[in-house]
């Protein structure tokens, strides 16, 4: 109808008429505006890209006269690059460019194509010549092949370097006479233990036995053999490595191999100064079927020892090498050195399921002996009375002898009131820190790189339950190791304060009391707009707890642990209803389920809401608890952790 109306009324707009000149001018204006917008967006994108690149970039400058290596194409293939040099810097051009003298020709290179060249110390070379080292060009070239690059940006000096490890640990001929006994034993008790040990002297040796109750199996997801080149061995260790492998062959731990499998050898230095020959089985582990054999978590090892008075610690002598390998899978354990191809007859270190196999063998050995705990190859006997302790040791020694297990005497302690076990000192109902690890924390140098910061946090983090408010204190050092931060950390005042606080908290040697499960526990909870908090107490005794990634633990006076969650955006999870929501504290359930405890709350409205909704809280009905209101100022534990 509109069209008809316009046609009948002659109401039609005249079309816009432009000349070619006007059209071209308008088009150029639009193109200029579009180009301006594109430039602005490009500058923004470049700024963002520069910001993300600079987060991990390093300032690289070289002075005139300094030796550098240049990244250049190889002689045989222009698409492959390699470091060539050294060449001398003759001048700097701008901020990042340098002029390099390359055999009489001066060329300009960007700093990203250069890296510093560290010349060999002439004094060291001269000393080697004076001592009678080979001076031929071939010998010198061979000694200079290894190049170590520090990707973390760390700088070492001679004082930081440890001496070369010496492979060994055999030939000490440890016997039952090397056993250690508790200092507080009476003469009769010590004599009784010596008689028991002497009657089972065959199990005390530094040589590994051959277990008859278990064998290691290897199941692979691929039938393609895994083979790798051997790692280079330092000349100073080559002969000792040969001697070690020869002794392992004499003890029937390894044998010569013609297997299509081969994995390289590495040497790991142990805490006692001896060395452990390990194999890099990482490629083989990738195609190995996982063994789900459970292992006891370290935090659960100490449960139920609050009343024990006598402890004995035993250490299997090279426990892994006491488990034989099944004949049909021996060839899969093959390893290679520069001049040897061997395979294991006993279970090697480094395989994915080695720990699970050893745990299964030891648990089978200790079946029915409830007062013995095991953590991999460490055994701990704990009893309340002397008679029970002697009886347990006799039965344990008998089983060890029948299964052909051997115990290393020098690392055993019998009948002691206190004992060091998996990094903790245990005894008299308390648990504290092992002195050796405390000294490591005390002597730990100030970290300079992300790797050193992680090592320090890992060391003190193992004792996080002993450090009040550990997560908050360790936050500044944790920030400098996040992704995107430079490898050489920016160590400020907050990091220094946290570093000193953590060292002081650990080196002050805090002590925790183990719980008495026959007494009532007290659960105190609190909540705010920031999170939930809860604490478990036991008659003014600190309670040991295990570590979980979903909670923040605080070891404060009279407090077991603190758990902290962000509030959920649901009306049921209001702060007033916190006392009944035990399912928000999954780790706390392990300590309270089946245990008598009392819940204390300092808000009367919360207590009323909890009682009113008790029938709706299915998780609480599984616990034996009672609800009680306390004064506002008395809820110290719950308020602190919240």
User: In this predicted model, what pLDDT tens digit does every residue of 570-606 receive, in sequence order?
Assistant: 333 333 333 434 444 555 566 666 666 666 665 555 5
User: Which residue, of 395, 419, 443, is where some domain finishes?
Assistant: 419
Mean pLDDT of 129-136: 42
- Looking at every residue in the chain, the average pLDDT score rounds to 75
Is residue 171 situated within a structural domain?
Answer: no
Is residue 76 situated within a structural domain?
Answer: yes
Q: What is the pLDDT of residue 146?
A: 32
* Distance from C-alpha of 591 to C-alpha of 522, rounded to nearest angstrom: 11
Q: Which residues contact 535 (CB under 8 A, 6 or more apart)?
A: 523, 524, 525, 554, 559, 560, 561, 562, 637, 638, 640, 641
Q: What is the pLDDT of residue 38?
A: 94
Is residue 162 situated within a structural domain?
Answer: no
| 391 shares a domain with 298 | yes
- Cα 203 from chain centre: 34
Name the maximum alpha-carbon separation found in the chain: 130
pTM comes to 0.60
| Residue 75 structure tokens | 């002689």
Is residue 340 situated within a structural domain?
Answer: yes
| 85 shares a domain with 216 | no
| 456 shares a domain with 440 | yes
Where residue 73 sits, what CATH number does that domain have? 2.30.30
Q: What is the pLDDT of residue 270?
A: 60
Q: What is the pLDDT of residue 2?
A: 75
| 539 shares a domain with 617 | yes
| 470 shares a domain with 528 | no
- Backbone torsions φ then ψ of 537, nearest 5 degrees: -130, 160
Where residue 473 sits, what CATH number does that domain have? 3.30.70.270
Sign, CA dihedral 591-593-596-601, equals positive
User: In this predicted model, what pLDDT tens digit does every residue of 88-128 receive, in sequence order?
Assistant: 999 998 888 999 998 889 999 998 899 988 876 544 444 44
User: In this predicted model, what pLDDT tens digit does every residue of 165-191 receive, in sequence order?
Assistant: 334 455 568 888 888 898 888 999 999
User: Which residue, of 365, 389, 419, is where some domain finishes?
Assistant: 419
Is residue 613 situated within a structural domain?
Answer: yes
Cβ proximity of 475 and 498 under 8 Å? yes
| 454 shares a domain with 586 | no
Q: What is the pLDDT of residue 77?
A: 86
Beta bridge partners of 312: 381
Mean pLDDT of 255-278: 78
* Distance from C-alpha of 263 to C-alpha of 228, rounded to nearest angstrom: 5
* Distance from C-alpha of 193 to C-alpha of 212, rounded to nearest angstrom: 27
| 94 shares a domain with 36 | no
Structural domain containing residue 82: 59-142
Residue 129 has pLDDT above 50, yes or no: no
| 284 shares a domain with 414 | yes
Tally of domains in the chain: 5
Where residue 240 sits, what CATH number does that domain have? 3.10.10.10
Is residue 424 situated within a structural domain?
Answer: no
Residue 504 has pLDDT above 70, yes or no: yes
| 242 shares a domain with 123 | no
Is residue 170 situated within a structural domain?
Answer: no
Long-range own/partner contacts, residues 441-445 (CB < 8 A, 24 or more apart): 441/502, 441/503, 441/506, 441/507, 442/503, 442/507, 444/503
Is residue 563 situated within a structural domain?
Answer: yes
| 101 shares a domain with 88 | yes
| Residue 408 structure tokens | 């290393």
Residue 207 has pLDDT above 60, yes or no: yes
Where residue 550 sits, what CATH number does that domain have? 3.30.420
User: Which residue, of 25, 42, 57, is where some domain finishes?
Assistant: 57
User: In this predicted model, what pLDDT tens digit does every residue of 18-70 receive, in sequence order?
Assistant: 678 788 888 899 999 999 999 999 999 998 888 887 777 777 888 899 999 99
Q: 333: alpha, beta or left, given left = phi > 0 and alpha = psi -120 to 50?
A: alpha
Query: According to the per-residue pLDDT averaged within each range, which of 95-99, 301-305, 341-345 is highest?
Result: 341-345
* Beta strand ranges found along 544-593 (DSSP E): none
Cβ proximity of 62 and 98 under 8 Å? yes
| 121 shares a domain with 211 | no
| 414 shares a domain with 440 | no
Cβ proximity of 236 and 133 under 8 Å? no
């Amino acid at each position: 109808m509109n069209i008809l109306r316009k046609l009948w009324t002659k109401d039609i707009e005249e079309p816009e008429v432009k000349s070619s000149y006007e059209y071209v001018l308008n088009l150029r204006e639009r193109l200029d505006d579009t180009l301006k917008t594109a430039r602005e967006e490009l500058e923004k994108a470049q700024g963002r890209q520069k910001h993300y690149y600079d987060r991990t970039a390093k300032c690289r400058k070289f002075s005139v006269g300094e030796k550098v290596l240049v990244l250049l194409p190889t002689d045989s293939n222009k698409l492959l690059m390699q470091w060539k040099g050294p060449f001398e810097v003759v001048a700097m051009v701008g901020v990042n460019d340098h002029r390099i003298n390359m055999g009489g020709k001066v060329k300009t290179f960007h700093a990203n194509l250069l890296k510093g060249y560290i010349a060999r110390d002439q004094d060291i070379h001269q000393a080697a010549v004076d001592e009678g080292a080979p001076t031929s060009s071939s010998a010198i070239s061979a000694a200079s092949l290894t190049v170590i690059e520090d990707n973390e940006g760390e700088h070492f000096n001679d004082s930081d370097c440890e001496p070369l490890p010496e492979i060994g640990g055999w030939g000490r001929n440890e016997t039952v006479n090397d056993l250690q006994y508790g200092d507080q034993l009476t003469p009769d008790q010590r004599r009784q233990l010596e008689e028991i040990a002497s009657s089972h002297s065959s199990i005390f040796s530094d040589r590994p036995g051959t277990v008859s109750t278990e064998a290691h199996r290897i199941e692979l997801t691929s039938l393609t053999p895994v083979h790798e080149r051997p790692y280079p061995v330092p000349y100073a260790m080559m002969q000792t490595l040969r001697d070690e492998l020869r002794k392992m062959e004499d003890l029937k731990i390894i044998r010569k191999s013609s297997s299509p499998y081969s994995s390289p050898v590495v040497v790991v230095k142990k805490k006692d100064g001896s060395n452990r020959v390990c194999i890099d089985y990482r490629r083989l582990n990738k195609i190995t079927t996982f063994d789900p054999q459970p292992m006891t978590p370290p935090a659960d090892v100490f449960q139920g020892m609050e009343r024990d008075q006598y402890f004995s610690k035993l250490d299997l002598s090279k426990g892994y090498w006491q488990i034989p390998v099944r004949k049909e899978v021996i060839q899969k354990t093959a390893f290679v050195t520069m001049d040897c191809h061997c395979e294991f007859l006993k279970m090697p270190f480094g395989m994915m399921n080695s720990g699970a196999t050893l745990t299964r063998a030891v648990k089978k050995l200790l079946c029915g002996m409830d007062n013995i705990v095991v953590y991999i190859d460490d055994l701990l006997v704990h009893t309340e009375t002397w008679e029970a302790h002697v009886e347990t040791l006799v039965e344990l020694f008998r089983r060890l002898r029948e299964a052909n297990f051997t115990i290393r005497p020098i690392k055993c302690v019998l009948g002691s009131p206190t004992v060091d076990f998996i990094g903790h000192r245990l005894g008299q109902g308390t648990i504290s820190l092992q002195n050796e690890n405390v000294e490591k924390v005390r002597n730990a140098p100030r970290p300079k790189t992300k790797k050193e910061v992680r090592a320090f946090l890992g060391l003190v983090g193992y004792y996080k339950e002993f450090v009040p408010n550990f997560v908050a204190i360790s936050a500044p050092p944790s920030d400098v190791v996040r992704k995107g931060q430079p490898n050489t950390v920016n160590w400020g005042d907050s990091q220094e304060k946290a570093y000193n606080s953590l060292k002081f908290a650990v080196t002050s040697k805090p002590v925790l009391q183990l719980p008495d499960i026959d007494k009532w526990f007290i659960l105190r909870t609190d909540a705010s707009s920031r999170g939930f908090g809860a604490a478990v107490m036991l008659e003014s005794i600190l309670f040991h707890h295990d570590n979980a990634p979903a909670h923040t633990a605080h070891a404060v006076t009279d407090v077991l642990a603190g758990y902290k969650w962000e509030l959920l955006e649901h009306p049921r999870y209001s702060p007033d209803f916190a006392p009944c929501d035990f399912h928000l504290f999954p780790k706390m359930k392990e300590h309270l389920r089946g245990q008598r405890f009392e819940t204390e709350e300092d808000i009367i409205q919360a207590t009323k809401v909890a009682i009113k909704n008790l029938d709706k809280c299915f998780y609480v009905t599984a616990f034996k608890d009672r609800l009680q209101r306390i004064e506002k100022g008395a809820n110290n534990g719950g308020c602190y952790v919240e």
